[in-house]
Amino acid sequence: MRELEYDVAVIGAGTAGIAAYRAAAAAGARAVLIERGPGGTTCARVGCMPSKLLIAAGGAAHAARNTDLFGIRVSDVSVDGRAVLGRLRAERDRFVGGVRDGLESLPEDVRIAGSARFADDRTLAVDDHTRIRFRAAVIATGSSPIVPEPLRGLGDRLLTTDTLFEIPDLPDSLAVLGAGAVGIEIAQAMARLGVAVTVIDAGANVAGLCEPDLARQAAEIFRTELDLHLGAEVLAAAPDGDGATLRWTDRDGHERITRASRVLAATGRSPNLERLGLESTGLRLDARGVPDFDPRSLVCAGAPILIAGDADAWRPVLHEARRQGTIAGTNAAALAAGRPTEAPAPWTSLAMVFTHPQAAAIGAPYDPEAEGRVIGHLDFSDQGRARVEGRNRGGMRIWADRRGRLLGGEMFGPSVEHLAHLLTYAVTDGLNAQDVQDRPLYHPTVEEGLGSVMSIIIRNLTGR
């Protein structure tokens, strides 16, 4: 077995791991990157990029079927499922190739292939061929789909985001367990591509929305395209011919049966930590096996080990993983050199769902019991640009404190991916409603809706 020594050992070569390696090396540390495969980030391989390709295809089909509003008649819209998935995989592979090119540009002597396991709080074993002594280590091992127990006997009838994008053709019908971001995005896209879709979720809301009126609107809108059941619980699932049958109870406790060609588990992802031997490090682990760590510095309590990206289960999205990787790599190099670590303030929380309409949650979460909040609202049904384009559904709710300082909000409507960024910047910069109201907003744009919301907040604060 080879015996090696490094200042910093990074486990995992996804978004967070690559960023951590580069940051540690830039800080002067002698670093190594360990990857067990497959290559490419979760986002590029099985997450945000292939799902957006599916959404784009569904959006094209939906638009082609819904041109009558504009006096345009389109007939005989058909969907070639094999072609849809063929383009998806070709573009997906291009994105993954870009990530791999970046990884392969690193010197070969700083990359080790294999599965790493902690022998103690200063030593890693990589398979049976390499032993690494380190001064600091970064865990960036990503996550894997959660498969609820009732679905585990379905064999190849069960899909996760790790397998969904490899199917050769679209199924006739699909049952989706989970109405969060991933579940509802894929469900709506599949429905628009002609798949009969049923969505079952134990929660009360859809697309991560908590503000009651927006959550209600979202559920009503999605129900026009698919069979959505909230407050429901899957009791059992079994193979049924070439498909599967689910037995479940609805929100009123009535037992229901659904048969589908395939079942998609979209109930979240769990950190890939179980094979790391963390019990050998002396770290304090929670019930999920996640180490106790500082969410600002990413340093784990009890050992010179840091954790970043999906592995820490804190904010499992790519932009956070990249930033966390940079912080973890920089701080790992500091620990290795005996320097103080840094604890930068977290970014303003930003979560998006790329359905149509889009959804987003920004900054401080919705809290009906929070004192001193002033809420501005907008209904997109009468917003000028949204009506022009026939996308006038949904609304915005933005909250501020009693001084008018913007705290956060939720949105469900057109161009939300852009509106949400503007609000995120305003919250991050500590702006108040008047500050935003004084900024230019071009006419006619959906962004003008932000000005309308700010006006309501100011009116609620001043009474004018």
CATH of the domain at 25: 3.50.50.60
Tokens of 109: 């002597």
Report d(CA 99, CA 46) in Å as an integer. 13
Residue 345 within a domain: no
Tokens of 331: 């701080």
Residue 168 within a domain: yes
Do 193 and 259 fall into the same domain? yes
Residue 115 within a domain: yes
Biggest CA–CA distance in the chain, Å, is 76
Give the pLDDT of residue 97: 77
Report d(CA 224, CA 220) in Å as an integer. 7
Q: Which of 267, 297, 316 is the last residue of a domain?
A: 267
Do 105 and 210 fall into the same domain? no
Give the pLDDT of residue 48: 83
Question: Is 209 in contact with 359 (CB distance < 8 Å)?
Answer: yes
Q: What is residue 232's three-state secondary structure?
A: coil
Do 156 and 261 fall into the same domain? yes
Residue 333 within a domain: yes
Do 105 and 251 fall into the same domain? no
Helix extents (H) in 338-447: 384-388, 416-428, 433-437
CATH number where 415 lies: 3.30.390.30
Give the pLDDT of residue 44: 63
Give the pLDDT of residue 95: 85
Report d(CA 259, CA 180) in Å as an integer. 22
Give the pLDDT of residue 100: 73
Tell me which residue range forms the domain holding 433: 350-462
Do 301 and 235 fall into the same domain? no
Do 319 and 388 fall into the same domain? no
DSSP state of 120: E
Do 200 and 136 fall into the same domain? no
Question: Is 201 in contact with 179 (CB distance < 8 Å)?
Answer: yes
Tokens of 173: 């019908």
Q: Which of 206, 236, 267 is the last residue of a domain?
A: 267
Tokens of 391: 């996308």
Residue 342 within a domain: no
Q: Can you say whether the dihedral through the CA atoms of 121, 125, 131, 136 is positive or negative? A: negative
| Block residue for tokens 């896209």 | 189
Do 275 and 374 fall into the same domain? no
Do 166 and 277 fall into the same domain? no
Residue 287 within a domain: yes
Report d(CA 447, CA 442) in Å as an integer. 8
Q: What is residue 306's three-state secondary structure?
A: strand
Give the pLDDT of residue 104: 74
Do 138 and 278 fall into the same domain? yes
Q: Which of 267, 296, 328 is the last residue of a domain?
A: 267
Residue 24 within a domain: yes
Give the pLDDT of residue 1: 81
Residue 29 within a domain: yes
* pLDDT tens, the chain, 464 aa long: 899 999 999 999 988 999 999 999 999 999 999 998 766 566 666 668 899 999 999 999 999 999 999 999 998 899 999 999 999 999 998 988 777 767 777 888 889 999 999 999 999 999 999 999 999 999 999 999 999 999 999 999 999 999 999 999 999 999 999 999 999 999 999 999 999 999 999 999 999 999 999 999 999 999 999 999 999 999 999 999 999 999 999 999 999 999 999 999 999 999 999 999 999 999 999 988 999 999 999 999 999 999 999 998 887 777 888 999 999 999 999 999 999 999 998 899 999 999 999 999 999 999 999 999 999 999 999 999 999 999 999 999 999 999 999 999 999 999 999 999 999 999 999 999 999 999 999 999 999 999 999 999 999 999 77
Report d(CA 287, CA 58) in Å as an integer. 39
> Looking at the 3D structure of the chain, how many domains does it have?
3
Do 263 and 279 fall into the same domain? no
The DSSP bridge partners found for residue 240 are 243
Residue 408: CB partners within 8 Å, gap ≥ 6? 348, 349, 361, 362, 363, 364, 365, 398, 399, 423, 427
395: left (phi over 0), alpha (psi -120 to 50) or beta: beta
Do 14 and 132 fall into the same domain? yes
Closest by CA position to 248, among listed 204, 200, 203, 205: 200
